[in-house]
Structure 1
Amino acid sequence: MHLNSYLTAALTAALSLSTTVLAGGKHHPKNFYARNLKTISSIYNLTVFPNNVPIITNGPSAVPKGLFSANASGRVSPLGNFTGFEDSIEYFFALALTPNAPSFSVFTSAKVVSFSSGCENVAASVAYLETRVLNPNSTDNGKYLSTLKQVAFWRFDDDGAVLAYDAWIPNLNVWNFLARGEADITNPFVQQAFIQRICPTIQSLCTGANQQYADVPTCISSMTAKPFGNYDEVWGDNVACRTIHLILAGVRPDAHCPHVGPDGGMKCVNEPYNHGYFDDEELFGQPTGKTFVCPDKEEEHDPYRLELV
């Protein structure tokens, strides 16, 4: 009886202390793991066709509340940095596939296959985006093409919206080959065919104050003089970078038409590797090594962190 009474009293005191600490301290979501997983899963689910269409058509107003902070910024290697809410949602949703010739490829499913969240503000994930043909008029309709993999670290604000992200798409060039028509972009004839196709589109999208080239022949001449590049190193003064930003120009021409122009508009430019991929403090507003580390883990983390020279 004495032991039971002691245990009961101790448990009551512990619960009382916990309640007092929680009530007087900062609010921490009880189920942040599930909340963060739901947010990330929802983001990737909106890349699946036709879930992405309303956002492509209507822009920021079509993005569900609570997914991205108004100040969201991040890096997606090998594509580049995306600063602000509109840049961020355009990367995730406007670049998601729609069924266009020649490949008619789309994301048909998006699964978060690996996930960890050790605190309410930080998570890490691996997502697989399955890519198939969507063309009811073709015998290839439904054919599996490939899977895009994205590895990402995430930081959430106090309301659970994504505030920062640092993501990587491995083997993007191979995926692009398999999923976008198996065009060998190392072949000069294929490169020229790309240029011949995108220049008329640039001229039709980028008009008035957004016009970048005098005419289609001028565009073709300018593009032909540049390296074509590849999709494992998109960030540069090359044609591959401009094919990415041409998609975005269809959504927000005033922002992205300069990026497909002759000088790259500060996006399709030769970004120094040592800056573009390591400008964490400038991009995230925190010292390197702080953004995607749980606060209570920093002391454990710091002694083992390798400093880049």
Structure 2
Amino acid sequence: MQQSWIRVFGAACALISCLISPATATSISSKWSRSRTRASAPRHSDPFLLHARNTTTNSTAGFAQRNFNTISSIYGLTVYPNQVPIIVNGGAAVPPGLFSQDVVGRVDPVGDFIGFEASIEYFFALAPIPQPSDRFAAITSYKITEFSSGCPGVASSVVYLYCSVVNPGAPDDGTPLPPLKQVAFWTFDASGAVLKYDAWIPRLNAWLEQTAGGVSVTDPQFQAGTIAALCDATQQRCLGPDNVQWNSTAQCVAALAQKPFGNYDEARGDNVVCRAIHVILTVGNPDTHCPHVGPTGGGACIDVPYGHVFEDEDVYSDPIGETFVCK
């Protein structure tokens, strides 16, 4: 039986962040480590977030705690259902002080994100929402396991994002699912908001396959089901003269069946996997993302040379090696 796992795989791309440790960095003590669950995940009135906004001292404890709190608050908003207001209302629902309006970043293996709206789409709109097609999977808690900040403008972190089944009343509600690990570098503006980030999710493809119940992305039936669901969603969401991508679902299925399927450890490219991620984002922003799921990939789902991942100046407007360094 063909099943749609698009939401599972797209949602996995939701999360990322964490890691920088120059020789002068000061590691945060274990008392600052925070593990949050659904019941206690930060919301707009989170006292830790308020502390992060109000801490302006340049003492080591002051700026390091502020940066830690900002990162922790961002991850708290990926814990279901904290991301739902952002999915519904967009940037207006993001608490002030987390991201600069000029924020830019790179998330490997997903892509580059230029600007506030693109960045919050990545962090929050792709965070999984429990539903039958993805085993009711959601992020239900997180723990920042490593953190370092050697100056007010730079920090690093490693986070474990713990997932489980969210299906109230069902026998499997609360069943643990495989966690995600995210590693990233961060910079902050003068007010403490995230200005730039460079992040990585290791072994994303394996995480997705395990979360989907052991199905392999190389399985022909899985690939056919993913393409069918992707094309159905595209035809339902990409409407009007500027957003229509295909004449019919059948045309979409036939065209995508000829493209490489790809895998989630290299999600950028002219392949099905990239389009499976971007079709999720067509719900809230069809004008931007419908071209990405169409025949040409719209400049997003296109093949990029290997060297593209080293073109830091194009993303950060800094010379290579100058962005995530205390100065």
**Could you tell which deviates more after superposition, 164-173 or 110-119?**
110-119
Matched, 1:79 2:110: yes
Query: What residue is the counterpart of 2:63 in the other structure?
Result: 32
1:131·1:179 contact (CA, 8 Å) conserved in 2? no
- TM-superposed CA distance for 1:138, in Å, is 2.9
Matched, 1:195 2:224: no
Q: Which of 284, 289, 293 is 2:321 aligned to?
A: 289
Q: Please show how residues 161-176 of structure 1 align to structure 2 within 5 Å.
A: 161-176=193-208
Query: What residue is the counterpart of 1:96 in the other structure?
Result: 127
Q: Please show how residues 221-260 of structure 1 align to structure 2 within 5 Å.
A: 221-260=254-293
State the distance in 1 between where 2:153 and 2:212 align. Answer: 36
- TM-superposed CA distance for 1:249, in Å, is 1.2
Paired letter, 2:94: V
Query: What residue is the counterpart of 1:280 in the other structure?
Result: 312
Paired letter, 2:302: V
State the distance in 2 between where 1:111 and 1:211 align. Answer: 42
Matched, 1:182 2:214: yes
Paired letter, 2:300: K
Query: What residue is the counterpart of 1:109 in the other structure?
Result: 141
Query: What residue is the counterpart of 1:268 in the other structure?
Result: 301
State the distance in 1 between where 2:102 and 2:72 align. Answer: 20
Structure-1-length-normalised TM-score: 0.85
1:47·1:110 contact (CA, 8 Å) conserved in 2? no
Select the structure with the greater relative contact order (CA < 8 A; seq sep ≥ 6): 2
Q: Which of the pair has more CA radius of gyration? A: 1
**Could you tell which deviates more after superposition, 183-192 or 27-36?**
27-36
Query: What residue is the counterpart of 1:307 in the other structure?
Result: none
- TM-superposed CA distance for 1:137, in Å, is 4.6
Paired letter, 1:114: E
Paired letter, 1:270: D
- TM-superposed CA distance for 1:28, in Å, is 5.5
Bigger proportion of residues as helix: 1
Give the secondary-structure state (helix, strand or coil) at the position aligned to 1:29. Answer: coil
Paired letter, 2:194: V
State the distance in 2 between where 1:87 and 1:273 align. Answer: 23
State the distance in 2 between where 1:154 and 1:232 align. Answer: 22
Query: What residue is the counterpart of 1:20 in the other structure?
Result: none
Structure-2-length-normalised TM-score: 0.80
For residues 125-153 of structure 1, give each alpha carbon's deviation from its aligned partner in whole angstroms, at most 9, with x where no partner exists.
00111011111253211111110110000
Query: What residue is the counterpart of 1:69 in the other structure?
Result: 100
1:28·1:120 contact (CA, 8 Å) conserved in 2? no
For residues 242-293 of structure 1, give each alpha carbon's deviation from its aligned partner in whole angstroms, at most 9, with x where no partner exists.
1111111112111111111111111111011102x11111100111111100
How many aligned residue pairs are there? Answer: 268
- TM-superposed CA distance for 1:210, in Å, is 1.1
Q: Is there any run of 5+ residues in structure 2 with no aligned partner, and where?
A: 1-55
Query: What residue is the counterpart of 1:151 in the other structure?
Result: 183
Q: Which of 223, 245, 251 is 1:212 aligned to?
A: 245
State the distance in 1 between where 2:160 and 2:126 align. Answer: 16
- TM-superposed CA distance for 1:180, in Å, is 3.3
Q: Identity of counterpart residues, as a percentage?
A: 53
Give the secondary-structure state (helix, strand or coil) at the position aligned to 1:230. Answer: coil
Root mean square deviation, CA, Å:
1.1
